[in-house]
Amino acid sequence: MNVDLYNFHLPEELIAQTPLPDRSASRLLTLDKRSGRTVHRHFTDIIDELQPGDTLVLNDTRVIPARLFGIKEDTGAKAEVLLLKSLGEDRWDALVKPGKKLKTGAVISFGEELRAVIEEESDMGGRTLRFMYQGIFQEILDRLGTMPLPPYIKEKLDDRERYQTVYARHEGSAAAPTAGLHFTEDLLKQIQDKGVHIAYITLHVGLGTFRPMSVDTVEEHVMHSEYFMLPQETADMLNEARVKGSRIVAVGTTSCRTLETVGGMFGDGPLEACSGWTDIFIYPGYEFKLVNALITNFHLPKSTLVMLVSALAGREHILAAYQEAIQQKYRFFSFGDAMFIY
């Protein structure tokens, strides 16, 4: 299956550069995955789309200020580091710039309180770094780091909390689960008051978010692993939903990938608390095991995320809905509008 089947033209002016003042003021395009029927609504109308008995699954990961700017100690040249995954013992997987000049053994200084040495190299700018510091690493990172906004966002983010969901708890992501950015605490309470069950999983968004597909066919692509956690309370809620035949609604592709990973682990048996690494790649032909509906943003052309939503709703329905969104001047990507696929 050729990657170009998932290409579309997006006018650059539709790429949202800043979040809306009100999180829930975004637009919402609803898509019936069977018929392809679309309706244009506002995000607060998600209350009408959800039904009593639904289980809404949110990813409660928290983005760390993972972008660091420093200098290469031996030359004084500028260096940029994007932390992706903690390996323990002060070692991290990271992306670096400029990759050609930051080789094994190079030392990067981020000021008096933080230094890093490059221990290993991998492809496409990937490095393993070991940090040296005095004090508490997370506190130093909070002071020196900046939020790792995607490269298509050029505007400065004034409030770093706007790149966090209101329910973000577990630190570890290199990017936000952006479908969740639309929810406010008040909206979540209204949803719960309607009789919708709210459950939480954790998936720390990592390397795959920042790397475009570099292959010609879908099947050649290899996803990078990301760490997930499923608590027992959520497992119990999902088990009950399956027994009752009620809908499981994933908020975001990260929640969807976590749920489908867990569904594959336990099959038809009851789910249990678990954690681990997932590199699941969902594209058309995939049979969903847990997820019945999905709240998501609009994704990049030829991306694994466009392929995931196409697996749920069909490529033709997705591309037609995207063209409609472009014609209606929806805002795209991380700070953009939302879609509900049901």
Residue by residue, pLDDT tens for the chain (342 residues) are: 999 999 999 999 999 999 999 999 999 999 999 999 999 999 999 999 999 999 999 999 999 999 999 999 999 999 999 998 889 999 999 999 998 899 999 999 999 999 999 999 987 679 999 999 999 999 999 999 999 998 899 999 999 999 999 999 999 999 999 999 999 999 999 999 999 999 999 999 986 765 668 899 999 998 988 999 999 999 999 999 999 999 999 999 999 999 999 999 999 999 999 999 999 999 999 999 999 999 999 999 999 999 999 999 999 999 999 999 999 999 999 999 999 999
Please state, in angstroms and rounded to a whole number, the distance separating the CA atoms of residues 60 and 286.
26
Cβ atoms of residues 130 and 83 within 8 Å: no
Are 142 and 135 spatial neighbours (Cβ–Cβ below 8 Å)?
no
Per-residue model confidence (pLDDT) at position 298: 98
Q: What CATH number matches the domain at 67-146, 2.40.10.240, 3.40.50.300, 3.90.1200.10, 2.40.110.10?
A: 2.40.10.240
**71 - beta bridge partners?**
78, 109
Q: How far apart are CA 48 and CA 46, in angstroms?
A: 5
CA atoms of 249 and 81, how far apart (whole Å): 35
Q: Looking at the DSSP assignment, which residues form a beta bridge with residue 277?
A: 227
Contact 204, 236 (CB under 8 A): no
Which single residue is written with the structure tokens 């209101």?
A: 166
CATH class of the 3-63+159-341 domain in this structure: alpha beta
Q: Are strands 91-97 and 126-133 parallel, antiparallel or unpaired?
A: antiparallel
Contact 167, 66 (CB under 8 A): no
Eight-class DSSP state of 219: G
Same CATH topology for 3-63+159-341 and 67-146: the answer is: no
Tokens of 127: 């490095």
| 219 close to 1: Cβ distance less than 8 angstroms | yes
In whole angstroms, give the CA distance from residue 146 to residue 49.
36
Q: How many Å apart are CA 102 and CA 78, to the nearest integer? A: 10
pLDDT for position 125: 72
Residue 7 structure tokens = 């290409």
Residue 224 pLDDT: 86
Tokens (6 digits) for 145: 């780091």
Domain boundaries, the chain: 3-63+159-341, 67-146
What pLDDT score does 122 carry?
A: 83
Residue with tokens 């879609």: 339
Half-sphere exposure of 62 (CA within 13 A, CB side): 12
How far apart are alpha carbons 222 and 283 in whole angstroms?
A: 12
